[in-house]
Amino acid sequence: MQKLHISRRSLATLRVNGTLPFTRIKNKLFYRKSDVLKILSNNFIMFNIRLITDKASSPEDKDLLLLGSLTVISSCLPGIFGIYDERIVYPNLFLFVSAQASAGKGRLSLCRKLVEPVHHALRERNKIENDEFRRKQSDYLSEKGKSDRERPNEPPLRALFIPANSSATALFQILNDNDGIGLMFETEGDTLAQTFKSEHGNYSDGFRKAFHHEKISYLRRKDREYVELDSPRLSALLSGTPKQVASLIPGAENGLFSRFIFYYMDIIPVWKNVFAGNPDQTSLDMVKTLLRHAAKVFDSLLPDPLETPKLLNQKQQFLDAMPADFSRHDYIAVANQLDIPEKTAEKYIVKFIQNGLINRFARDKYRKC
C-alpha cells in the first residue's frame, strides 16, 4: 500500500478485478515486484499527462503537450512491447511538430523535463563508474610490469538524451552503451537535416532502422571492433517550421516520411501578454510535481534488466504442440486447436521435413527430430 500510495480498500479492489495478481501463504498476501512496478508506471503516465494538458492555454497547446509527453515517455518504458505482424515492437515514437515562427511550439521544452530524472540518474551513475575506472586505471599504471593485473575497461557512456548533431558512430555507440535506448529531442528540426548532409553525420539509414528495431551494425575504428545493435529503441521529438520539415524530408518517397507523426499547428500568431495569469504558479512549478513522481517511478524501473521476449510464430507453435510421434490425424487435430487451415498445416509438415525438423519414417508416421 505504501508503494502504491493507496488505501487498503483500493488494494483489495485491485486484487478482486485481477489488476494486481497475488499469492496467499498462511493468511499473508505476496505481490510480484514486476506487477507493482507496472501499476506504478501506468499511474504515472495517466496522472502526469493529465496534469500537463490541464495547463494548456488552447486546444492546439493541449495537443502539443499531449503528443510531446507521449513521445518522451515512450523512450523510458523498459519491458513494454507488443506483437505486430509476428514481430516484437516497442512503444517508441517519432514526432515532428511543425508551426510558423512564434506559434508556441517552444512549450515542448516542458515535456523534456518529464524524463530529465532518468537522464540525470544515468549521468550520475556514469560519473560514479568513471571515478571507479580512474582509480583502477591509476592502480594498473602504478603496478604495470609488476603484476598480472588486467587493464580496466572504460565504462559505457550512460545518457538518455542524444544530440542530433552527433556523428553516426557516436549515435550508434551511445545507443549501444545504453542497451539500445535513447531519446533525440531537438527544438530546431534543421539541426538533424544539416547533420544528415555532413560527411560523418549521415546516419539516416540507422535512424530509419531504429524505428523498426532492426539490427544496426557499425565499426569502431579505435578498437577495430565490429558492433551490432540487436534491437535499438530510439524515440525522437523534433520541432520546426514547414520549411525545416522539407529540408529534412524532401518528399513522400523519403523513408522518414512514413515513420514520423506530423502535427501542424495551423494557428495565426497573436501577441501574448506573458505577465498575465497567476504569478504564484509558473509552468516550472507545475513540472516540479511531475519530476517527483517521475524520479520515483523510473528509479524503480531502470535498474531492472530488460529481457528480450521470445516470439513464437504460428508455424513454431504448430511444431511445438506436436507430440514426439504422430500421424496425419494427430497433426490435423493440433492444427484445428490453433485455428490453422488444413492445407496450411500440410504445407508446414512438408517444410518441416525439408528442413530436417521432422522425419517421415513410415506411411502416415512422423517423428520429431
Q: How far apart are CA 189 and CA 321, in angstroms?
A: 51
Q: Which parts of the chain have pLDDT scores under 70?
A: 1-7, 37-55, 145, 220-223, 268-313
Three cell numbers, residue 313: 510464430
Mind listing the domains of the chain with CATH numbers? 57-301 (3.40.50), 314-368 (1.10.10.10)
Q: How far apart are CA 353 and CA 103, in angstroms?
A: 64
Q: How far apart are CA 264 and CA 13, in angstroms?
A: 42
The CB-side HSE value for 157 (13 A sphere, CA atoms) comes to 10
Name the CA dihedral angle for 63, 69, 71, 77, rounded to a multiple of 10 degrees: -150
Three cell numbers, residue 343: 492445407
pLDDT tens-digit readout, 215-263 = 988 876 666 778 888 889 999 999 988 888 888 888 888 888 889 999 9
Counting beta carbons within 10 angstroms of the beta carbon of residue 298, is it exposed (0 to 12), middle (13 to 18) or buried (19 or more)? buried
pLDDT of residue 26: 75
pLDDT of residue 91: 92
Specify whether the CB–CB gap between 238 and 96 falls below 8 A. yes
Specify whether the CB–CB gap between 119 and 100 falls below 8 A. no
SS3 128: helix
- Mention every residue, 6+ apart, whose C-beta is less than 8 A from residue 171: 162, 203, 206
Q: How far apart are CA 304 and CA 41, in angstroms?
A: 13
Specify whether the CB–CB gap between 203 and 257 falls below 8 A. no
Three cell numbers, residue 273: 501578454
Q: How far apart are CA 92 and CA 109, in angstroms?
A: 19
Report phi then psi at 81, rounded to 5.
-155, 170
pLDDT tens-digit readout, 8-35 = 777 777 777 777 888 888 778 888 877 7
CA angle (330, 332, 338) in 5-degree steps: 110
Q: How far apart are CA 176 and CA 90, in angstroms?
A: 17
pLDDT of residue 302: 45
pLDDT of residue 292: 54
pLDDT of residue 49: 63
